[in-house]
């Protein structure tokens, strides 16, 4: 009985537990169904507003700048050559690579022994020719006098012969006397012919003496020129480069000794595309004398110089494209022939254009402008010129409109935006810095110890570092090279 009673109690408890589980499952199912059947209204959609940078497009006259890269070269470069062969006996003290020379300075002297001997022989030959000329002149004068005497004697003989003929006709003279007078007259005429022939020979001798004298003078001038060409002088003030000569060396005729370069007569040669070249032509197709600015990023400081376009190349060049243009530089201290520089050429002024950042223009040549209720509008424009990170554009209705800078694929016509009205193209940068004494001393020490920096650039950098405020760009360049 006890076992039966305990078994019934277990069955009852199990039944109650099962009933509770079923009831709990029903409650859970009802709760889930009620949750699923309840539909809450969706929140009203809100329009997304983007923050954009805008700049105001102002139509104005702008002078574009054409960037290019070029090389500095000298307008006066002279190859020093010797026309005579021989051994170098003397060199100028500053005849070395980079040596500075003055106009008219003696640079190289070659052994003059042979040249002086040739000059002495030419002078002796000239003396002989002059003596021969004088002797020929005296002989000619004597021949003329002898001819005059022979002619006078011939006249006397002829008159004597006519007188004998007259006497014979009157019966006073004899035939023998007449014949003797005739023979004397014939002999006198023969003497005149002989003296005439001697005169002609004397005149020919005079002509030959003149020719010999002219040849002697030519030989003398040639010898003097050869003697002068044993010495090489500087034609103008300049700097020597490509020097390969030492004293005592044997040189051949027309051998290149060095190059003399004028460091003050500098120009820059740079190549531009054909389209860029066309923009530098005037109405008549002539090249405009546009101003140019040349800059060289030297160690620690930038070198700049100004000039003007002077000419262009006569041909495009084999295997080249575009056009090669030359610009004559004004005073350009610190620049040397061979420097690779950046060239900025001022193009003719363009009217009625707006300058905006290049990120405002898309590939379809349109810009987004701010419309009513701060909604964007697409405005087609004409691209006039690219200027670094900016573009020059022109379009109808662009004047005074606010243009979106930094376009993204999310922006388009009709999008509502929140404009940020500041010049997004301006990059904030500190132009001047106040340096501590320790930092200033470190920069000055680096500039003073840098042997590769040109003296002009070093002086300029030290002058700027001595001021209270120093350009940030100069400090950045120096510290980038010393690891600061």
Q: Is residue 38 part of a domain?
A: no
CATH number at residue 365: 2.40.420
Distance between CA atoms of residues 132 and 42, nearest Å:
133
Q: Is residue 1 part of a domain?
A: no
pLDDT at 22: 80
Q: Is residue 446 part of a domain?
A: yes
Asked if 335 and 355 sit in the same domain, the reply is no
Nearest of 112, 102, 97 to residue 231 by alpha carbon: 112
Nearest of 359, 389, 420 to residue 53 by alpha carbon: 420
pTM here is 0.59
Distance between CA atoms of residues 254 and 82, nearest Å:
5
The total of structural domains in the chain comes to 5
Asked if 90 and 239 sit in the same domain, the reply is yes
Tokens (6 digits) for 123: 């002078």
Distance between CA atoms of residues 63 and 435, nearest Å:
37
Its domain, for residue 310, covers 266-346
Asked if 355 and 399 sit in the same domain, the reply is yes
Nearest of 387, 390, 395, 399 to residue 279 by alpha carbon: 387
Q: Going residue by residue through the chain (484 aa), what tens digit of pLDDT does each one get?
A: 666 777 777 777 777 888 888 888 888 888 777 776 665 555 666 777 888 889 999 899 998 999 999 999 988 888 888 888 888 888 888 888 888 889 888 989 888 888 888 888 998 988 988 888 888 888 888 888 888 887 788 788 787 777 777 777 777 767 777 777 778 777 778 877 888 888 888 888 888 888 988 998 999 998 888 888 888 888 888 889 888 888 888 888 888 888 898 888 899 999 999 989 998 998 888 899 999 999 987 555 578 899 999 998 888 777 788 899 999 998 888 888 888 999 999 998 889 999 999 888 888 899 999 888 888 999 999 999 888 889 999 988 888 889 999 888 888 888 888 888 764 444 444 467 778 888 888 888 888 887 777 777 788 888 888 887 788 778 877 877 775 4
Q: Is residue 254 part of a domain?
A: no
pLDDT at 165: 74
Q: Is residue 320 part of a domain?
A: yes
pLDDT at 427: 42
Asked if 197 and 342 sit in the same domain, the reply is no
Asked if 309 and 358 sit in the same domain, the reply is no
Q: How many CB atoms lie within 10 A of CB 267?
A: 20
pLDDT at 428: 40
Nearest of 19, 212, 251 to residue 125 by alpha carbon: 212
pLDDT at 420: 85
CB 129 within 8 A of CB 135: no
- On the CB side of 195, CA atoms within 13 Å amount to 20
Q: Is residue 9 part of a domain?
A: no
pLDDT at 324: 92
Chain centroid to CA 47: how far? 60
pLDDT at 42: 57
Q: How many CB atoms lie within 10 A of CB 11?
A: 10
Residue 183 has φ and ψ, to the nearest 5°, of -65, -40
How wide is the angle at C-alpha 290 spanned by C-alphas 308 and 338, nearest 5°?
Answer: 40
Longest dimension (CA), the chain: 234
pLDDT at 448: 84
Provide CB contacts within 8 A for 63, sequence distance 6+. Answer: 346, 347, 348, 349, 350
pLDDT at 37: 66
CB 314 within 8 A of CB 50: no
Q: How many CB atoms lie within 10 A of CB 454?
A: 18
At 65-101, the pLDDT tens digits run 999 999 999 888 888 888 888 888 888 888 888 888 8
Asked if 102 and 171 sit in the same domain, the reply is no
CB 305 within 8 A of CB 330: yes
Provide CB contacts within 8 A for 278, sequence distance 6+. Answer: none
Q: Which DSSP symbol is given to 373?
A: G
Asked if 275 and 321 sit in the same domain, the reply is yes
Chain centroid to CA 43: how far? 72
Q: Is residue 427 part of a domain?
A: no
CB 51 within 8 A of CB 417: yes
């Amino acid at each position: 009985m006890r076992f039966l009673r305990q078994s019934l109690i277990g069955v009852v408890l199990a039944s109650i537990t099962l009933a509770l589980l079923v009831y709990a499952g029903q409650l859970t199912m009802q709760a889930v169904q009620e949750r699923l059947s309840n539909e809450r209204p969706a929140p009203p959609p809100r329009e997304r507003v983007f923050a954009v940078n805008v700049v105001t497009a102002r139509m104005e006259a702008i002078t574009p700048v054409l960037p290019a890269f070029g090389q500095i070269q000298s307008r006066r470069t002279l190859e020093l050559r010797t026309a005579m062969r021989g051994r170098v006996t003397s060199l100028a003290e500053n005849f070395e690579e980079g040596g500075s020379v003055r106009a008219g300075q003696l640079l190289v002297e070659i052994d003059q022994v042979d040249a002086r001997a040739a000059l002495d022989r030419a002078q002796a030959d000239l003396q002989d020719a002059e003596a021969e000329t004088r002797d020929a002149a005296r002989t000619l004068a004597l021949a003329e006098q002898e001819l005059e005497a022979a002619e006078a004697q011939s006249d006397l003989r002829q008159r004597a012969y006519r007188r004998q003929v007259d006497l014979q006709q009157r019966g006073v003279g004899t035939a023998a006397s007449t014949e003797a007078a005739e023979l004397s007259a014939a002999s006198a005429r023969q003497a005149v012919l002989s003296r005439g022939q001697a005169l002609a020979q004397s005149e020919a001798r005079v002509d030959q003496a003149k020719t010999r004298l002219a040849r002697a003078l030519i030989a003398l001038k040639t010898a003097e020129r050869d003697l002068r060409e044993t010495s090489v002088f500087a034609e103008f003030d300049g700097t020597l480069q490509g020097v390969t000569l030492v004293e005592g060396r044997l040189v051949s005729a027309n051998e290149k000794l060095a190059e003399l370069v004028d460091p003050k007569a500098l120009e820059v040669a740079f190549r531009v595309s054909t389209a860029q070249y066309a923009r530098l032509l005037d109405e008549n197709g002539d090249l405009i004398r546009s101003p140019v600015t040349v800059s060289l990023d030297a160690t620690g400081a930038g070198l700049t110089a100004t000039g003007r376009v002077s000419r262009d190349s006569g041909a495009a060049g084999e295997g080249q494209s575009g056009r090669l243009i030359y610009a004559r530089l004004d005073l350009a201290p610190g620049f040397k022939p061979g420097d690779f520089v950046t060239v900025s050429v001022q193009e003719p002024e363009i009217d009625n254009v707006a300058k905006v950042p290049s990120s405002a223009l898309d590939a379809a040549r349109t810009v987004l402008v701010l419309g009513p209720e701060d909604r964007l509008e697409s405005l087609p424009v004409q691209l006039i010129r690219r200027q670094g990170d900016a573009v020059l554009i022109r379009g109808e209705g662009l004047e005074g409109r606010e243009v979106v800078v930094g376009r993204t694929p999310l922006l388009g016509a009709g999008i509502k935006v929140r404009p940020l009205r500041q010049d997004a193209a301006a990059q904030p940068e500190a132009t001047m810095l106040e340096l501590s004494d320790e930092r200033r001393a470190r920069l000055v020490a680096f500039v003073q110890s840098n042997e590769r920096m040109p003296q002009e650039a070093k002086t300029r950098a030290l002058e700027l570092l001595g001021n209270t405020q120093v350009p940030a760009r100069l400090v950045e360049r120096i510290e980038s090279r010393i690891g600061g």
